[in-house]
Every structure is written in structure tokens, then in C-alpha cells.
Structure 1
Amino acid sequence: MARLIAYKALLLSFMVSFISCAQSPAGPVTYVLMVQGKADNELYVDDVLAGHSFGENEDSVGYLLNPYLLQNGRHTLKLKVYPVAGAANGQAYMRLESSVNDGENKILARHPFRIVENKPEEYTWEINIDQLPYQLTGWSAGVDLRSEDSGALAKEVLAYYTRMHKMYESGGHADELISLAKKAEAEKTVYNYRDAKVQETVDLLSKDGYNKKVKMEPIEDYKMVIYGNGKLVTLERNPVAEIAGYRKTGNFAHWSALIGHFDDGNGLYQVPVLLYRPKAGAALERIR
């Protein structure tokens, strides 16, 4: 029987985020989108994949928006809906919520959509965000990668992933891996509202983990995907039912091409990487 996937890294990330928000004296504002309706779905925020739910068989799912909201103002949500077998036609809705200081969620707005049997649909919702206490540069000033030679871009992206893959496999490259993620982590500190003590703990955990050798899956059976209206690029594994004897609900949809084994031999984890080019002629950098 195929073994199930372990999610230790995701749990740790959630715990750190929770502690960070609870301890922040700044009154952090967190935005969440709830999708109510029994259907597989993908959510995009300003053309960046913010999350997905495949094969979960849940009536509702929630997505954290803060990592993809660079500033206050108008933002475009796009929900792709894939009705599951046997699901009835019916009304469903998206619900935008916010919370302050990790308090009770406040419903800000609802947007209806329909689930149509055997018919994938796409719904767009323009929302206004006005309570973020931060503004991030992110990829906003980056180069539109759609205008570049796709072959050359693909080689550059693969070279970046291959470099990271080799560092994980050989171990002892904590400083280099942390350096590659420096800009991404700096912004994560802001949108996760981490205080100095939490960030210090995260850095120590990261360094300890990055120095260990990791059994990595080959970079294979992937596709290059451009997000963020042309400003972000990543490599995603093509959806498959099984990797290295492990199965996952949703067939590994949208998993990163960087996949490692937990050191206790109990499951796989992915290393999501979003790259952007700060200016013409510059090398690609990790921003998420």
C-alpha cells in the first residue's frame, strides 16, 4: 500500500505564522478567502497561484491572501472551479474575511458562483484591500518575462533549480540557501508579522535544516509556468498519482519540481520557488 504524504514542514510554517501574528504588537491584519461549495478549485490573486484544493471532498476551503497582497488597493481574484464526480449543480460563493491581531474573522464581502456538473468554470472578483499595515515591492517592478526568449528563460530557470537541488543533496550549504531566499524571507517577515524573537528562531531552524543532506527526487516531468502577469516564473511537476511510492490526494497538482524526502523516511515535501527578474539583464532572484 502506498504511503501517505507527511506535512511536517507545512505544520511548522503554520505554527510560526500563528505565533508571529499573536505576538506582534502592531495589530496585524490577515486576509482570508473562503470558498464554499463542493468542487475542486484553484485560486489566483493578481494572476499568482495562491492555493488549490483537489480531491479533498470538502464543502469549504480557506486560502491565506497576505503573501500575494503587496499593498492596499484593488486586487483581482480568479477562481477556477472543477466539479467533482457526482456533485450536484448549485449555488456556491467566495467569502472575503479579515482578522486583526489573530482575533475573530470579520466577513467583508461575498461573491456568488455556480457549480455546473461536468463543466469547469472560471470566476473573477475584483476586491478592495484597505487595511494592510505594510507595502511590499515584491515582483511589482520586475521584468515581464513573457517578452523574453522562452528557451533561454527555461534554461536559466532550470539552472537555478539544479543549483538548489545539488545544495540540498550534498548538505552543508545553509549560508548559500539562506542567501538565495534572503529577499523572499525579508518580505515574509513583513506579511507574516514576525517579531525579532520569532525570526531568530526561524533562522536557527533554517540553518540547521539546510546543512543536512537531503534525499532529493530528480528534477523531471515538469513544466515551466509564468505567473503574476508575466513577472514570476516557476517549475511545477506535472500532476501524477504517485512519486517514489507515495500517493497524495489531488495527484501532486502544482507541486514544485524541487521535492525532498523527510529524513525519517516518512514522506515527501516540496520546496516552492517563485523567481523574478528585478531589471533587464539581471539574474533571476527568489521572491517567494
Structure 2
Amino acid sequence: MKLKTFIAMGLLSMFGLGGCNAQQKDNTAKQELSYTMDKNAQRHSYFLLTITKGCSFRALLNDIPIKEHFAGWSFDGELFLNQYIVKSGIQKLKIEFYPVKGYEENSFDDEKPIYLEVRKYIKGDTPELLDYDTISINPIPKIEKGTTHYVYETEFHANVPYNIPILDECVRLDTISNIEELAKEKYNELKILYEKRKYAQFLQEFDISKQRIAVANYYREGRMEKENKWVIDAMKEAYKKVAPIENYKMQFYGNGKLVTLIDKTDSLATFRLDDRGDSFWPVTFYLGMCRGSDKLEILFE
């Protein structure tokens, strides 16, 4: 079965305002995101330039996965970081490096197998390609050939004009005894919405995350509606079913305040659009629970 590759990091985003302190009046009510924005401050955008040869990796910012690369010998690209930055200050970057599957003996067999660079762009949601400053981070020491697992951790300071206290408003999920039951219940609830073609309600479940992304990425009004329409049209055209929620394991992120279910076999998202054909589309999201609530909701994707 082939992985649908045109979107592997989760759903794209939709414009609106959503958040933990909302009260739903009906099934179509929008939620409100709690955040502040300094309209006079510079809108910085942060990227992580990542170049690897002969290794796989998982990158996390502030204990939230931003990219997983476990297919192929190399990776070369910029990862947009803003949607994982909730306020100005110290940002914690962690990269877990692994051998390439099937080439374990030769992994890290290069003079410079890994290069990382944090870049700060000056111009909001349309940064100029050459208009950036490089932020100094700790160098990566040479990784010995045959290493089975290497973890690199560093910090950098970010200045953003917004403050989104979304995780401050959440409880630790890894202390809740029935969290697995609650997570699976939420996954199946989403599965039912999608398979009953209640696409508006299905997308509404992503409101909080999407509005957080809109704020952090300085989206102009209307941009997310366009992205959202493209994504749901692609889904509806290709997939009518969601794979059974099974053969999974729980993973906690966000310092215990986020949970997701991943497949035990391939480590991809358990929630996957799948018509039992030759391809599937994994939809990655992270659930959280606001204080005073007993419900899980999608906070990151």
C-alpha cells in the first residue's frame, strides 16, 4: 500500500478564531482562540534548514513534532517553525537521528551527514528568500558510523508579536488513568463524522489548531478558507472511508499535554483515510484537554 505523499504533515489550515475558552452554542458555532497580538511589532518568521545524508530523523520544537523523515537516504528542505512557537522567548529544538532502514551499517557514513540552520526571516507571511538572519545554535558533533540512535538538543531565542497561551490552559494527559480510552473515543468520533460525509463538522474539529496556525503564520483573511477547500475537495475525491482505529500506540508530546495515536507497524498517524486500495492518507493531529473540561480536542496538527 502506498502512502499518499502530497500532504504528509496533516491537514492544511482554515481561517477563523478557535480556542480553549470557547462555549459552543450549536453544532456550527465557531470557537474563540485566546491570544494577544502586538500589531506594531515586527512579524518574524522562523525556519529550520535541514540537510541530511544517510540518516533518518524526527524533529521536535518545544516537544511537538514538526517533521519526520524515515523514507529515503537524504533530506534537504526548510521547515516552517512559527506554528510551533506560541510566544517570544527560548525555543527548545530537539532532533532524533536514526539509521536509514536497510542501511544501518552505512548510516552516518559521511563527513557532514547533518546540517542544521535556524533562519529568521524579516517579512511576515511572504518572506523574501534572501532577507533573513542566521541564528547561532550549538554545533552537531561528528556522529560515529553505525550509531543506532543519536539525540541533538539546543535552544534559540525567538521574537514574535503574538502570545498564544493554549498549552498553559491545558492539563497533563499522561496523569489521566483512562486517557487511552478517551483518545480512541475521539478518534472514532472523527471517523464517524468523516464517513457520514459531515465534512463541515469534521473540519470544525480542527478549528482551534487552524486558528492558532493562522495567527502564528500571519495569514491574511481568506487564505485559510482557500487552503481548506482544496484539502477537503482532495479528500472527498479520493477517500470515502477511514481505516479502523487499531494496532496503535499512544505518544505524549507538549510535555505531557498532547497525545496522539500512531501505528505500531509504520509509526505514521493511526487516523488515515483509506479505501483499502493501493494508497492511504495519514492525518496527523495532537489532542489536548483544557482545564475544566473532560473532552479532548485537536490543538496541534
Equivalent residue number for residue 229 of structure 1: 255
Residue 168 (structure 2) pairs with residue 170 (structure 1): no
Q: Secondary structure at the match of 2:47?
A: strand
Deviation at 1:274, TM superposition (A): 0.8
Bigger CA drift: 32-41 or 206-215? 206-215
The answer to whether 1:239 aligns with 2:270 is: no
Larger relative contact order (Cα-Cα within 8 Å, sequence gap ≥ 6) = 2
Alpha-carbon displacement from aligned partner over 1:210-258 (angstroms, at most 9, x marks no partner): 7787222211211111101011011111233xxxxxxxxxxxx3x2111
Shift in Å at residue 206 of structure 1? 6.0
**2:14/2:225 contact within 8 Å kept:** no
Distance 1:192 1:144, change over 3 A: same
**Contact 1:28 1:102 survives alignment (8 Å):** no
Provide the rounded CA distance (Å) in 2 between the counterparts of 1:73 and 1:233. 24
3-state SS, counterpart of residue 225 of structure 1: strand
1:270 equivalent in alignment to 2:282: yes
Bigger proportion of residues as helix: 1
Pairwise CA distance, 1:128:
0.7
Name the residue aligned to 1:260: 273
1:199 matched to 2:224: yes
In structure 2, distance between residues paired with 1:143 and 1:11: 25
Contact 1:93 1:110 (C-alpha < 8 Å) held by counterparts: no
2:97 aligns with 81
1:43 offset after TM fit, Å?
Answer: 0.8
Residue 174 of structure 2 corresponds to 146
Give % identity: 20
Q: Which residue of 2 aligns with 1:33?
A: 48
Confirm or deny: 8 A CA contact 2:137 2:154 kept in the other structure: no
Tell me: CA distance 1:214–1:110, structure 2 relative to 1, closer, same or farther (3 Å): same
Contact 1:222 1:257 in 2 (8 A): yes
1:280 deviates by 4.4
1:207: Cα distance to partner?
Answer: 6.4
Is the partner of 1:196 in helix, strand or coil?
coil
Q: Which amino acid aligns with 1:6?
A: K
Q: 2-side partners of 1:16 and 1:174: how far apart?
A: 13
Distance in 2 separating the partners of 1:206 and 1:14: 7
* Letter paired with 1:257: T
Listed one character per residue, the Cα deviations across residues 153-196 of structure 1 (whole Å, up to 9, x for unaligned) are: 1000000000111111221x123213222211211211232212
Separation in 2, partners of 1:71, 1:103: 23
Matched, 1:109 2:125: no
How many residues are treated as equivalent by the alignment?
260
Q: In structure 2, what is the Cα distance between the partners aligned to 1:282 and 1:14? A: 27
Q: 1:14 to 1:103 in 2, by over 3 A?
A: farther
Query: Conserved in 2, the CA contact under 8 Å of 1:79 and 1:122?
Result: yes
Say if 2:147 is the partner of 1:121. Answer: no
CA apart distance, 1:9: 4.1
Question: Cα distance, 1:283 vs. partner?
Answer: 1.2
Shift of 1:51: 0.9
- Taking structure 1 as the reference length, the TM-score comes to 0.78
What TM-score do you get using the length of structure 2 for normalisation? 0.75
Which residue of structure 2 lines up, in the alignment, with residue 68 of structure 1?
84
| 1:273 and 1:286 in contact (8 A); partners too | yes
